[in-house]
Chain A
């Protein structure tokens, strides 16, 4: 009898394994199918094109790895665009995540009245169209007639050169990114907070743990995966930054500044550079090579990120 039950259990476990495999592949199939068509094939195409000199309309000339060699050894602007991308990332993302956690935790407090109202307003920047947003920011950061500089002159201070001064322009773009995505990350953190089972806090309260202790012993450890998720999204998004600086610069100082990311290329991100080489210079093979190098950089960054998560978890 004992043997029979164990045999039944084994059979059930075996059946379970089979059905888990079927379900597992089936449930994830839509994602992989769509990715293969709209992600993987374009990737192969881009890798192939990066081996050519091609203006998109003329003949393709096979150049082997020349585009990569030029990029790595003979193109200071490429390196500058990488530097800019990281600088803008550094000026916006860490603060964004930090404040998003702070706001989420505050809004998760039971005593707060009108939670919905606060969350609604803080999320607003994320639902507005970028066309409008960049126009507003160009207004705020206008060099001669911007609101910010107007306030500075009212205070008797010197104007800042938002269009020409490297760090000022980067800061303006970082402010735009911070402003636009703060609510987004706050919402993700809120979802994370809500996934923490309430009885953990109940038990802790019964054990006499203070709110501060609860925060550091329960909230932060339980929230770590969500924080890492936010960081990953912000990082991959940040390294692909394009529309925000592009439309902002275009409203601030015109099309030439938008294509070049400012007179000193100070907010030229990697993707903006990719765009410029493709659509202003018509160097499409070269542009594809940039895309591939960017992908490699992002992968390295993400691996670093997941390594960090592994460390923190242990």
Chain B
């Protein structure tokens, strides 16, 4: 009995948070079906309007922007960044967690230190480098700087530290495994949930990045989707926010689907675990 009340409370609590989380999202989808003038109406318009088709038409038959192409660009960038992030972060994380080499402690501290450099810190010198490399309007300008991050390395290091026991690594060594084999055969399978987590976070981050792509990807055929959002309507001095909203919903849809698909991977570890009620 006590158990059942406890569980109900848990459900109510979770539902509360779900409501809190999706309400603004719901409203966003409502606005995308309305006109700019209806956005801040009082009393608020909380139900769907009728302008969705018109807004979508403006997005997909746009004179300035090939919206699908910008989605393609963003996908190429986000996939490349995610794949290299998973590979390079886990490799470095594995080295920091399970290999012994001189200067490791200091190097790890250094990685942590780089976490603290503000992103707005070096836009101009970074831009200078990109122009020197002749990478303006080139996928590499966005992909290469994002290929591995301090966050990823540190996240993987923490996870491997916790979930790949030293004994297992030692046993592998006695069996004659080389370091790369240890990584591939022992570490990689054990950290699958961490891959899912870091992968999704990285992909979302790359997909939603705005500032840097807007600086180095200027030509229309190289735009990323977040930059394209703001180029849809050029006729008036100020933006049609409902159009931006509709485009944002479109731009979020792929993330939605990807997350939906990989969502199961998150719980792989949980169902294996022994947390039984």
Contact = CB atoms under 8 A, between A and B. Distances in A.
A187 B54 CA distance: 37
A232 B226 CA distance: 28
Interface in B3-58: 7, 10-11, 13-14, 17-18, 20-22, 24-25, 27-28, 31, 39-40, 42-44
Contacts of B263: 116, 119-120
A242 to B, nearest CB: 7
Nearest to A278: B120
B210 A302 contact: no
B1 interface: no
A106 B7 CA distance: 10
Contacts of B113: 299, 302
Interface residues of A, number: 98
B118 to A, nearest CB: 5
Nearest to A128: B252
A89 B43 CA distance: 33
B112 interface: yes
Interface string A124-156: 111111111101110110100101001000000
Given A20-B99, A127-B208, A127-B256, A110 B275 contact: yes
Contacts of A271: 118, 120
Contact of A116 (B114, B193, B211, B267): B267
A78 B94 CA distance: 41
Contacts, number: 279
Of the four ranges (under 10, 10 to 19, 20 to 34, 35 or more), the interface on chain B belongs to: 35 or more
Given A133-B24, A229-B158, A150 B44 contact: yes
A38 B273 contact: no
Most buried by B among A127, A222, A243: A127
Contacts of A27: 91-92, 94-95, 99, 183
A31 B122 contact: no
Interface in B164-215: 173, 178-180, 183, 193-194, 197, 200-201, 204, 208, 210-211
A226 interface: yes
Interface in B211-266: 211, 226, 229-230, 241, 244-245, 248-249, 251-252, 255-256, 259-260, 263-264, 266
Nearest to B127: A42
Contact of A139 (B11, B40, B147, B266): B40
The 4 closest A-B pairs by CB, nearest first: A42-B122, A194-B269, A24-B101, A198-B274
23 contacts: A27-B183, A31-B88, A39-B114, A45-B125, A106-B13, A109-B10, A118-B17, A119-B267, A130-B210, A131-B229, A132-B252, A139-B44, A182-B17, A184-B201, A187-B197, A196-B273, A225-B161, A225-B162, A226-B158, A233-B115, A295-B117, A295-B118, A299-B116
Interface of A: 16-17, 19-21, 23-25, 27-28, 30-32, 34-35, 37-39, 41-43, 45-46, 99, 103, 106-112, 115-116, 118-133, 135-137, 139-140, 142, 145, 147, 150, 179, 182-184, 187-188, 190-199, 201-202, 205, 222, 225-226, 229, 232-233, 236, 240, 242-243, 271, 274-275, 291, 294-295, 298-299, 302, 306
